[in-house]
């Protein structure tokens, strides 16, 4: 959604704030960076944020389906793209090879800190 707002594909209603979108963007960027450096806590934080966001989206869709119908097509496309990409990221982060990578990185970090 942030990308759609910044590129002006979606124009926010007058008086609305992009603060939540900016905080979300910065948070996900920080978590992505920490995951890339092998921090296991960041992987689990991303999984929790994904689960809570998906749950909130599903509840909103069930309780207020007209809200999503009122959104412009670029906003819906942006939300669906984010859902697909984040689902893929969570899936990849929970694979055996990812667990092994985080485990190796943790061992290397611990051994290099002791040296």
pTM score: 0.73
Contact 70, 113 (CB under 8 A): no
CB atoms within 10 A of CB 81: 13
Domain ranges of the chain: 39-98
pLDDT digits (tens, 9 = 90+) for 26-73: 998 999 999 999 999 999 999 999 999 999 989 988 998 888 888 888
Report the alpha-carbon distance of residue 15 to residue 1 in Å, rounded.
Answer: 17
> What pLDDT band is residue 18 in, cutting at 50, 70 and 90?
confident
């Amino acid at each position: 959604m942030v990308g759609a707002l910044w590129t002006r594909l979606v124009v926010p209603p007058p008086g609305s704030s992009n603060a939540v979108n900016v905080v979300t963007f910065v948070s996900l960027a920080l978590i992505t960076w920490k995951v890339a450096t092998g921090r296991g806590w960041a992987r689990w934080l991303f999984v929790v944020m994904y689960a809570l966001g998906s749950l909130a989206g599903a509840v909103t869709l069930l309780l207020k389906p007209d809200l999503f119908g009122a959104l412009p097509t670029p906003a819906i496309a942006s939300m669906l793209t984010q859902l697909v990409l984040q689902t893929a990221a969570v899936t990849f982060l929970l694979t055996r090879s990812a667990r092994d990578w985080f485990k190796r990185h943790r061992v290397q970090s611990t051994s290099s800190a002791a040296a």
